Amino acid sequence: MIDKNKPVVVTGADGFIGSHLTEALLERGYRVRALAQYNSFNNWGWLEGMSYPGLEVVCGDVRDPNFCRELCRGAGTVFHLAALIAIPYSYVAPDSYVDTNIKGTLNMLQAVRDTGCDRIVVTSTSEVYGTALYVPIDEKHPRQPQSPYSATKIGADALAESFYRAFELPVVIARPFNTYGPRQSARAIIPTIISQIASGAEEIKVGDLSPTRDFNFVADTARGFIALGEAEGIEGRDINIATGTEVTMAETLKLIAELMGKPETRYVVDPARLRPSKSEVNRLCGDSTLIRELTDWRPAYDLREGLAKTIEWFVNPENLAKYKPDIYNR
């Protein structure tokens, strides 16, 4: 149900998941109006060098309601991914998270309402669930804000739900579990491990390796978004994008080291990378029953395959040069 005659808006298109989603939409023949956050360098992030006839790059800011209205004018489906997403940075700059994640989402909802777009897919996160009270985590699991980041995503989800109920706005909430792959910021565990090993470090710095995660390869997450953009009759639903598998950070590190041919890699826990204990989300494993029922989406990559693709990308010197493996990137 994504209308090919109207542009599809992607916010956060300059970022990790948004750039992959933008490419996946363009590959399927959609026209994409891709938002890169305005900056004076005219830097389009991961959209730099992307060239497709259907791609229109727009620079702006979701904190500006007037800009959001103009962004949505004439568009069909809107994928709203723009956000501040680093948990450690949300400890030091929570105001920015409220402005971007809550107010930014409100602005996009209001813009879709004002301009009459066909659907808005709002991006949530598995972080809203906090440490699993039961697994696999389905959409009914309680919300537990364990970081300012999570709190702002819970707020944004609530606004999206309220716009569906109050105004019948065609809203779908996509809730990806942890996503990894080429282009991810080194603040996340998988790129931080890969980029340090690829830079020749014999002892790498990590945070707590005991938590578990349900990792989605980014191509699968992008297909999940498109499936939720296309499926009929799912307005008002919040829907997990998850594999239903669970792995510890320590097991992930071991697998990466093995795939990179450095099984002897040692690690040291860097206290700066530890979350306060009550803020650490110890266990995440998602239930994907709903998305499987409502769409034909299935993950195509297991962790080993997705990691191999990710490593292949990171070890390319041109890509690795964009990272600073010796500096902790929160």
Ligand X SMILES: NC(=O)c1ccc[n+]([C@@H]2O[C@H](COP(=O)([O-])OP(=O)(O)OC[C@H]3O[C@@H](n4cnc5c(N)ncnc54)[C@H](O)[C@@H]3O)[C@@H](O)[C@H]2O)c1
Enumerate binding residues for ligand X (CB under 6 A): 12, 14-18, 35, 37, 45, 61-63, 81-85, 100, 104, 123, 125, 176, 178-179, 185
Inter-helix orientation angle 189-198/249-259, to 10°: 30
Residue 179 CB, nearest approach to ligand X (Å): 4
**Closest CA relative to residue 209, chosen from 261, 252, 250:** 250
Q: Which residue is nearest to ligand X (CB)?
A: 15
> Which of 131/185 has CB closer to ligand X?
185
Residue 251 CB, nearest approach to ligand X (Å): 18
> Which of 240/265 has CB closer to ligand X?
240
Residue 172 CB, nearest approach to ligand X (Å): 14
Q: How far is CA 277 from CA 46, 150, 281, 282, in A?
A: 34, 15, 9, 9
Tokens representing residue 93 in the block = 């700059």
Contact (CB, 8 A) for 311 and 194: yes
> Which of 178/196 has CB closer to ligand X?
178
Residue 264 CB, nearest approach to ligand X (Å): 29
| 3-class SS shares of the chain: helix, strand, coil, % to 5 | 40, 15, 45
Contact (CB, 8 A) for 322 and 329: no
Residue 6 CB, nearest approach to ligand X (Å): 21
Residue 203 CB, nearest approach to ligand X (Å): 26
> Which of 117/128 has CB closer to ligand X?
128
Q: What is the rounded distance in angstroms from the CA atom of residue 151 to the CA atom of residue 94? A: 10
> Which of 103/113 has CB closer to ligand X?
103
**Closest CA relative to residue 156, chosen from 114, 128, 136:** 128
> Which of 178/265 has CB closer to ligand X?
178
Tokens representing residue 207 in the block = 């945070």
